[in-house]
Amino acid sequence: DAGVIQSPRHEVTEMGQEVTLRCKPISGHNSLFWYRQTMMRGLELLIYFNNNVPIDDSGMPEDRFSAKMPNASFSTLKIQPSEPRDSAVYFCASDMRGGTEAFFGQGTRLTVV
Amino acid sequence: GQQVMQIPQYQHVQEGEDFTTYCNSSTTLSNIQWYKQRPGGHPVFLIQLVKSGEVKKQKRLTFQFGEAKKNSSLHITATQTTDVGTYFCAGRTYSGAGSYQLTFGKGTKLSVIP
């Protein structure tokens, strides 16, 4: 398996633009997590899905952020409109149901100017 | 919500010295995991502890899970330059309907001076 695949690896966009981050979890994994990492706040859980259903989105900063998982092999994290303070590395991770290790993607480094 | 606190935030050690990072959860955990993130990389799983009071070793790394399943520690003996990176603990709690939330501490960034 190729592991968790995220795209793009890097994204530079202007403030106000819509940004869509993509994630393909490992086949057979039924939990998917979106994290945001910054120097100031560390690794923050934004949202996680179990069997494609959002379980906890309390970490989503505000209404500008939304996440979907239309099927077991794909998820998106969308920011609309983007702001400079959204600049961070966004990680997607997946695992088997509960109690096992989480596999992280390479991350998407987002810069909003 | 669940919070996982990790200290220290940074640690600089001379090569050959020992290193310890500590993790505390606001709630009882189902299990705790440890990850390592190299500079510019992504978190990579090291180990999982499940049982109260459990101790596991990986070469120079010793992991402990507290009796109350609310705290944990990672100890590295005789650090090497290859140990450089950020070490995260991550606590699992049951969220209902068969779902387990994974909450990370802020991590301890280890620098090793040759």
Q: What is the pLDDT along chain A (113 residues), one digit of tens a residue?
A: 689 999 999 999 999 999 999 999 999 998 999 999 998 888 999 998 999 999 888 889 889 999 999 999 999 999 999 999 999 999 999 998 755 799 999 999 999 99
Instruction: Grade residue B105 by pLDDT with cuts at 50, 70 and 90.
Output: very high
Res A58: pLDDT = 86
User: Please, are residues A75 and A22 in contact by the beta-carbon 8 Å criterion?
Assistant: yes
User: B-chain residues within 8 Å CB-CB of A100?
Assistant: 48
What's the confidence (pLDDT) of residue A10? 97
B97–A50: do the CB atoms touch at under 8 Å? yes
Decide if B48 and A43 are in contact by the 8 Å CB cutoff.
no
User: What pLDDT shows up at residue A61?
Assistant: 86
- Quick check: B97 contacting A, CB < 8 Å? yes
Contact list in B for residue A48 (CB cut-off 8 A) is 99, 101-102
Nearest to B43 among A58, A97, A104 (CB): A104
